[in-house]
Amino acid sequence: MAWPPFFAQSLSLGNPGSGVAICLLWTPQERVLPALNPDEYALVGNLYSRDGISFMLRTLLARPTIRTILLCGKDMTGSGTALLDLWEGQDAVRLHPEIPPAAVDLVRQNVTLHDARDLVRPEEIAALLHTLHCPAQPFAPAAQEFPYAEPVAASLPAAACGLLVRAATVREAYLHLIWNVLSFGVHGGTQHSSNQREILDVLTVVSAEPGDPAAFSHAEWMPFTRASLGERLPNGGYSGYLGQILTANPAEGVSYTYGARLRTFDGQIDQVAAICADLRSAATSRRALAVLWNPHQDAGSANPPCLNLVQARLRPAPGEATPRLFLTVYFRSHDIFRAWPANAYALRALQALIAEELGGVELGDLAILSHSAHIYAHDWEAAAELLAQHYRPQNPRLIHDQRGAFVIVLEPPVISVRHYSPAGEHLQTFRGNSARELSRQIAPYIGEMSHALYLGQELQKAEIALALGRPDSFHQDRPLTLES
């Protein structure tokens, strides 16, 4: 059996006759190793996370001759404290389930943990190591190995709130949203006593969905039919769900509709008409908004509206003379799987209707801010199946960065990076000697993570070509040509 069984390339071996292992926590090994006598230790490694404690136990049990662990270095994430707690009998650390409690107890009872986390200087660590005279001595009759299964997390860590999703169409955005909520949503209950996965404050920006309902990107696999979504009628009205958003006509069996709140708020105010009038009188207005929350009716209601605010803005796109109509909406609560796509299509139709009423404007982005973006437990399986059938991550090279493009050129002895606007205007130039230096300079000007990853790869290629004295071998978007 090879030893160490895990992360061997990240561990430094010394004298197999020593019974001392050194855990440096977050302190880099390369800083400390030159000061140490390799005859005085068997193994040196780091412990960056609590999960690493399980791998440490596996290593100790795979060759049960280590009798002392010297714990020192910077404890950046509390992994050292967690290790000490485990040795003191506090089993709060989540260990790999394959490691039996008896094996954990065997290590704790036979391996001494020497807490010296106040030591970070190499010479101090070396001096303490020199005092630990501990030869290798078996504490178990044979090595113990346990199976290891790669974890499959039910949910993944993410920021407590705030997520941006950009997509050309509602259909594309819908799939991205489902994937994000199932992947990063926090599990919890609701006022409806149904478990959910939830992300707070998700902003979805749809840029190219057609305004004509007949051309919507609806797909048959969505949780509502094309017929139920509705269409624009010859008389200018709307059928189906679109009618509930765009007209004041009451819907059978419901206490109110979004359309009634928009068109006859409090029984008298047509807020859509007011938005149009406001933008006609002042194209730069920031007051063209509609509110759907009625405090008199909704504060104590069992079913208050989920859509609470709609705001329209006129603004020309860069380099364009024709103004674009942008629409921003706020949902206090948003069922992503069942309701989001129908809401988005209807709001795009509303945006197109306002643009038509104003005349001479193009459609801009539709921005939907969902405070509680959630999927209920009874829909998790269906949502996961929908993703399996229809979700394909987009090619990162095809994702357009609206902050511009970067052209990398070698100008020995430096690397030059030119920043261009989406329209091709040269904005600024950065110069540096390494990929790391230039990455720090350009990072604030990159708008897409995939773009940043790509640029990091290209900058590293440029640095290699420069270091080898072969600037002619580098061409952006192509492999290095290093053949002599």
**What number of CA atoms fall less than 13 Å from residue 310's CA on the CB side?**
29
Give the burial class of 269: count Cβ atoms within 10 A of its Cβ; 0-12 exposed, 13-18 middle, 19 or more buried. Answer: middle
**Six token digits for residue 402:** 């609206």
- CA-CA-CA-CA dihedral for 272, 274, 279, 280, to nearest 10: 110
* Bridge-based pairing state of the strands 196-206 and 362-376: antiparallel
- Per-residue pLDDT tens digits for 453-474: 999 999 999 999 999 999 999 9
pLDDT at position 57: 97
Which of 78-92, 181-195, 324-338, 395-409 holds the top average pLDDT?
Answer: 324-338
Read off the pLDDT band of 141 (50, 70, 90).
Answer: very high
Percent of the chain scored above 90 by pLDDT? 87
pTM, two decimals, is 0.81
Length of the chain, in residues: 484
Q: In this structure, are residues 290 and 272 in contact, taking their beta carbons and an 8 Å threshold?
A: yes
- Per-residue pLDDT tens digits for 376-430: 999 999 999 999 999 998 887 788 899 999 999 999 999 999 999 998 999 999 9
pLDDT at position 483: 77
Mean pLDDT, residues 178-189: 94
Read off the pLDDT band of 90 (50, 70, 90).
Answer: confident
Q: State how far the Cα of 421 lies from the Cα of 442, in Å rounded to an integer.
A: 14
pLDDT at 484 over 70: no
pLDDT at 81 over 60: yes
By C-alpha distance, which of 411, 412, 420, 410 is closest to 461?
Answer: 410
pLDDT at 432 over 70: yes
Read off the pLDDT band of 200 (50, 70, 90).
Answer: very high
pLDDT at 356 over 80: yes
Cis peptide before 38 (omega within 30 of 0): no
